[in-house]
Structure 1
Amino acid sequence: MSSSVFVIGASGYIGLGVAQAFRRAGYRVYGLIRNEKYSNILLENEIEPIVAQTFDDLQSFADTLALCSIIVDTVGYNAKLSSSLLEVAIQTGKTRTEDGKLSHYAPLYIFTSGIMTYGDTSSTGRRPVDEMVKPRAANQGANNSSSANVSAMKDREDFENHILAVSSASLKTTVVRPGFVYGGQGGFVANLFYSEPLVIQGRRDMRWSWVHVDDLGEGYVAIARAPRVVVDKQLYNLAAPNDNPTYEELRTAMAKAQGRKETIEYKEADKDVPTRWNTDSIINPAKAINELGWHPRHVGFVEEIGIYYKAWAAHQSTQEIKSSEHA
């Protein structure tokens, strides 16, 4: 495999996982970052760092971007940044294809969204939702936090639709909705769940779909390897089938992994807690499995939660050591 990939946000939890997956698959990988201090992390993983003070500064990385047949935005939806990044990809596609005249050189743009776009999926009777289900960001309260959350999810859905609509002879587009991601160093969700005290906000039986960071990265590779005619203008859910433990099961397993025996406190969701933390989000990944041959390999979050906690704790310890060395 000789194709080049440009990963935007390559120093992030998902971004690094995706970049590593492409490198394992034999691609040449460039990682766009905003801080040079992350360069060594990328280099250690055979990813070439591209440092830009702002991600919408096309001129600082235009030449490298033009070399790449795949552009992956792992930053996620950002009201101020996402449109600029998409415009950069569109201009790159026009450059590579001479305004569409050489459409066989059109890059594939993969945008990272998330399953929260669906809103509360409990109305489906706990059945996982697939890509044909239109999101419904139902407001479950009149507080300002809930209203803001509904608005943000609607904005993200609109932007997903916009990305798919701009597909052309110069740029092919795909949107990925990952489940909640676990494994390795862990992301913001791990930081939230492993923190003290052990408090469950909202419903004990709330369920989310989960996916290991390595399996998620392999999903992006599967999209990139598929014929463009298959993945162009498509949405893909990426989560492990049937890996959707209840919030209570997950929290209890985490407490056990940490060796903690104190009683877990349960309470109703605070008015300041976004509604997305109190709703089911269960997705069906059959489309990616059937069309792309993608198959998650990890057995599940709860089943091996002990090793995932150790990995997260080891990363936290390493970060503390590095911070003290530079103090």
Structure 2
Amino acid sequence: MSNRRSILVIGANGYIGLAVCRAFVRAGWRVYGLVRKPESAQSLAAEEVTPIVGSASDLSFLDQLFAQIKTFDVFASCIEPPDYAAYYNNAIVMIRKIAETSNKNGVRPLVLWSSGCKDYGYTTIDGAPDLAPHTEESPINFAALFLAQRATYSLKMFEHTDLFDAAVLRPTNVYGYSSSYYGIMFEYAAAAAASDTVTLKLDVHPKTILHAMHVDDCGEAYVALADHSNRKSVGGQCFNISAHKYETAKVVAGALAEEYGISGGAEFVEPTPQDAAGMSVANKSLFGYSQWVSSEKIRNLTGWTDRRMLFTENLHAYRIAYEAALQAGHEDTVRIKARWEVWETQFKDLIGK
């Protein structure tokens, strides 16, 4: 029998889930990916990930899973469901059942549970005298009501020490490949370039902090925690994951304007009612969400560091990758656009509408 370690990635076809799968494959792990739809299985298989078709709300797939493997060293949950409480309640039953079998066969798992850095809410803007990064010691202060369930339920993972250890991970926004929510920035700039405007208008402060990282770096952070030799220093902990440096709305918007040939560059304005109707959600929830996030804890513990270029340092490559994903009908771009339409309403509590 091989002594290779194994991981089950829940939500493996999602944006971060797929990056986590790829990172563990590169690190030499045996990777299984749980997906809801049979049509998602082929894309996982192409990444050398063993697909498992099933759902936390219907555990009939467990017989199929246990026929292949009975022990997992790690679970990684990479799902951002609209009803977080319902998802958690189903997922914890599933994880406990799998962990019970794993424990009976001699392996106590580590659960890497994904939340997000917006659990902390905002920081002030670049250059503000009271500016300080959010750390794992910062209070939970979600700025939007629809984040409340995620911020609350993610911490419940620490209540199951009878069967597994757990760490809660809080990544920043991510970009690269199909771009996740940063694709909305490309869409906004493309729409401006196609209109008769001479500037890329933004109704946010130019010193708003936009702290994001490449999704590959995010995946490698999960591996760094799973590989760490001292499980006790990982279990029961929260870890922020962020790039070594943040950018600002002025820098990002200026780079987008240049990339899309918007001659007047970026313009930061007080919007008219007509302007606000077209740009409030994209502006306030992406360009206008100021947050600096410290990742010193995971860096100091594991030696992990981000390696990919910042968003504006390689923006053209990220743009063409996003456009290629659109052209191919990548399921992540379809999912993000559909989710964004729903969240336009939910974001109203965040932007004060």
* TM-score range relative to shorter protein: 0.7 to 0.9
Aligned residue in 1 for 2:92: 86
**What does residue range 233-312 of structure 1 map to in structure 2 within 5 Å?**
233-242=236-245, 244-261=246-263, 264=266, 266-268=268-270, 273=281, 276-277=285-286, 278-312=288-322
The residue number in structure 1 matching 2:53 is 51
**Contact kept in structure 2, 1:118 and 1:135, CA below 8 Å:** yes
**Matched-pair identity in %:** 27
- Alpha-carbon distance, 1:82 to partner: 2.2
| Greater mean deviation of Cα atoms: 250-259 or 301-310 | 250-259
Contact 2:175–2:181 under 8 Å retained in 1: no
Write the distance in 1 (CA, Å) between the matches of 2:201 and 2:77. Answer: 33
Q: Which moved more, 1:121-130 or 1:289-298?
A: 121-130
Residue 74 of structure 1 corresponds to which residue in structure 2? Answer: 78
Q: Would you say 1:181 and 2:174 are equivalent positions?
A: yes
Segments of structure 1 that go 5 or more residues without pairing to the other structure are 139-148, 321-327
Amino acid at match of 2:172: G
Runs (5+) with no aligned partner, structure 2: 193-199, 331-353
Asked whether the equivalents of residues 119 and 276 of structure 1 are also in contact (C-alpha less than 8 Å), the reply is no
Q: Could you tell me whether the CA contact under 8 Å between 1:120 and 1:276 is conserved in 2? A: no
More helix by share: 2
Taking only aligned residues, the RMSD between alpha carbons, in angstroms, comes to 2.5
Cα deviation, 1:135-186, whole Å, max 9, x if unaligned, reads 2235xxxxxxxxxx2x23333221122122x141311111110011011221
Structure 2 SS opposite 1:81: helix
Q: Secondary structure at the match of 1:282?
A: coil
Change (3 A) 1:280 1:21: same
Q: How many residues align?
A: 302
| Matched residue, 1:112 | 114
Aligned to 1:191: 184
Q: Distance in 1 between matches of 2:181 and 2:16?
A: 11
Deviates more, 1:268-277 or 1:56-65: 268-277
The one-letter code of the counterpart of 2:86 is K
Whether contact under 8 Å (2:114, 2:154) holds in the other structure is no
Shift of the alpha carbon at 1:247?
Answer: 1.5
Q: Secondary structure, in 3 states, of the residue corresponding to 1:110?
A: strand
Q: Deviations over 1:247-305 (max 9, x none)?
A: 22112212222334355464558597497543311100000100011011123111111
Mapped to 2, the partners of 1:174 and 1:56 lie a distance apart of 23
Distance 1:261 1:3 in 2: 53
Task: Write the distance in 2 (CA, Å) between the matches of 1:194 and 1:262.
Answer: 18
AA matched with 1:156: R
Name the CA distance, whole Å, in 2 between partners of 1:209 and 1:257: 20
